[in-house]
Amino acid sequence: MDNSLSSTSLGASSYSLPDERGRFGPYGGAYVPEILVPALKELIRGFSEAWQDPSFQLDYHDLLGTYVGRPTALTFANRLTAKLGGAKIYLKREDLCHTGAHKINNTIGQILLARRMGKTRIIAETGAGQHGVATATVCAKFGMPCIVYMGSEDMERQQLNVMRMRLLGAEVRPATSGSKTLKDATNEAIRDWVTNVRDTFYIIGSVVGPHPYPQMVRTFHEVIGSEVKNQLKKAENRHAPDLLVACVGGGSNAMGLFGPFLNDPSVSMIGVEAAGEGLDGLHAATLTLGEPGVLHGAMSYLLQDEEGQVALAHSISAGLDYPGVGPEHAYLKDSGRVTYVTATDTEAIEGVRLLAQTEGIIPALETAHAIAALRTLAPTLDRNQIIVVNCSGRGDKDMGTISAHL
C-alpha cells in the first residue's frame, strides 16, 4: 500500500508507519477470519485511491466545512493559564463539531468512502453509544441503512444514546452474549460483516481494528492537527507548540492531533489514559498496565486477566472505558515518542469543574482527563512555552454522571 497517504494536501506528516503489512513495529496487523482478507484488501485499495483523488478531498472538506462546522476554533485559555501558572494553554475545540465531539470527522470520511466503493449498507459497533450516534448521523445524511451493534448491558446504561440512534433512523441490535458489552458487540459486527461482506461497509470508530483502519481513522482525524498548525501560526507566529496533550481511549482524537507533528522533534506529546478508581483498582490504563495481545483484529496493549482473557475496563467516562488501545499508540509508547500518563475518575471530575469555571466550557468526561493532567504539566513549562490540549468533546451528555459526583 502507498504509505505516503498522510503527506497529502492536508499538509500532514510524512511519518511513514504502518508498513505495507499494516504493522507499527510489532503492533497492528490484521487478525481476522480468512473470509475477510479480500474485503480488507479492497478497503486498502479503495481508501488509497480515494485519498489521492482531488474530488474525494473536495467532498470530504466541503462536508467538514458545511456540515461538521470546521475549522473548529483554537481558543487561548487565558484564565486557565493564569490559574495553573506556567505555559500558555490553547484548547482545540472539537467540542464545537456537529454532534459535540471529534468522532464525526472519521464517520464523514468513512461514509464517503463507503459510497464511493459502491457499498449500500452500513454497520458499526458501539460501547457508550457515541460512535453509534456519529455513524447514525452520517447514515441519515447520506440516506443509507445503518445497523449498530451494542451490548445489551451498555444499552441499559446508555439509553439516551440508544434513543438518539433510533431517532436518526438506525437499527440498534443488542449483543446478548458474554459480558454484554463492547467486545460482544464487536464480535456481532464482525459476524455480520462476514455474512454480508459484498454490500456492507463496517465503520470503525477509533484508531483500532485490523489494517487499514488504524491508519485510515488517523488520516481522517489529522485535520485536527493540521488546523492547529495554521491557527498557531496566526495566533503566535509559531509553526508548532511545545507540548500536545490529549486523552486516549482507543486513541483517535490523540492521533488526529499528534499525527501532523510526529516528525517534528521539538514537539512533545502526552496521552492521558483513565486510571478509573486508581491503578490498583478498576481502571482503563491499557498502555500503563496492559500487556501485548490481540483484540478487535489487531495486536496492541490490552488489559488481560491471569488466563489472558480480556479484562473489563472501568472509567467514569464511557468513551475511555475500553480494554484495548490503537496499535500506533503501543508503538509510540515503546519508542518513547509519546509519553502516557493517567488521571483518575475523581481527577476527571475536578478537571470538568476547572475548565467550566475558568473558561466557561463544560468538557466531556473523556476530555476532562486531559484537562486534569494539565494541573501538573503546565507549571513545569515556562510562560513563553505553548501547550495545545485537545478539547475532544462537550459535557452535556455527561451531566447526569457529573452532577451525581459533585
Ligand X SMILES: *Cc1c(COP(=O)(O)O)cnc(C)c1O
Which amino acids are annotated catalytic? 103, 125, 392
The yes or no reply on residue 366 touching ligand X (CB under 6 A) is yes
The yes or no reply on residue 260 touching ligand X (CB under 6 A) is no
Contact positions with ligand X (CB under 6 A) in 303-342: 319-320
**Sole window of 152-160, 248-256, 288-296, 372-380 interacting with ligand X (rule: CB under 6 A):** 248-256
Local structure of 155: helix, strand or coil: helix
Nearer to ligand X, 48 or 392 (CB): 392
The yes or no reply on residue 271 touching ligand X (CB under 6 A) is no
Q: How far apart are CA 91 and CA 75, in angstroms?
A: 5
**Of 107, 167, 102, which is closest to residue 139 (Cα–Cα)?**
107
Nearer to ligand X, 94 or 119 (CB): 94
Beta bridge partners of 36: none
Q: Which of 248, 302, 354, 377 binds ligand X (CB under 6 A)?
A: 248
The yes or no reply on residue 101 touching ligand X (CB under 6 A) is yes
Q: Which of 162, 185, 247, 362 binds ligand X (CB under 6 A)?
A: 247
Local structure of 341: helix, strand or coil: strand
* Phi, psi torsion values for 299, nearest 5 degrees: -90, 130
* 18, 328 contact by CB (below 8 A): yes
The residues, ordered by sequence, that sit 6+ positions from 197 with a Cβ below 8 Å of its Cβ are: 35, 36, 38, 39
The yes or no reply on residue 290 touching ligand X (CB under 6 A) is no
Nearer to ligand X, 119 or 181 (CB): 181
The yes or no reply on residue 284 touching ligand X (CB under 6 A) is no
Beta bridge partners of 310: 304
The yes or no reply on residue 64 touching ligand X (CB under 6 A) is no
Distances (CA, A) of 134 to 2, 100, 295: 28, 10, 23
**Sole window of 37-45, 78-86, 241-249, 378-386 interacting with ligand X (rule: CB under 6 A):** 241-249
CB of 344 to ligand X, least distance (A): 16
Q: How far apart are CA 369 and CA 375, in angstroms?
A: 11
Q: Which of 135, 215, 231, 253 binds ligand X (CB under 6 A)?
A: 253
Q: Are strands 291-295 and 243-247 parallel, antiparallel or unpaired?
A: unpaired
The yes or no reply on residue 13 touching ligand X (CB under 6 A) is no
Q: How far apart are CA 36 and CA 30, in angstroms?
A: 10
Nearer to ligand X, 119 or 393 (CB): 393
C-alpha cell read off for 59: 467532498
Burial of 185 (0-12, 13-18, 19+ CB in 10 A): buried
The yes or no reply on residue 206 touching ligand X (CB under 6 A) is yes
Neighbour-count burial for 137-161, b at 16+ CB within 10 Å, e otherwise = bbbebeebebbbbbbebbbeebeeb
Distances (CA, A) of 218 to 17, 97, 212, 394, 402: 11, 17, 10, 21, 30
Nearer to ligand X, 252 or 358 (CB): 252
The yes or no reply on residue 103 touching ligand X (CB under 6 A) is yes
CB of 207 to ligand X, least distance (A): 6
The yes or no reply on residue 249 touching ligand X (CB under 6 A) is yes
**Sole window of 31-39, 226-234, 243-251, 302-310 interacting with ligand X (rule: CB under 6 A):** 243-251
Nearer to ligand X, 262 or 381 (CB): 262
Which stretches of the chain bind ligand X, using CB under 6 A?
A: 101, 103, 130, 206, 247-253, 319-320, 364, 366-367, 392-393
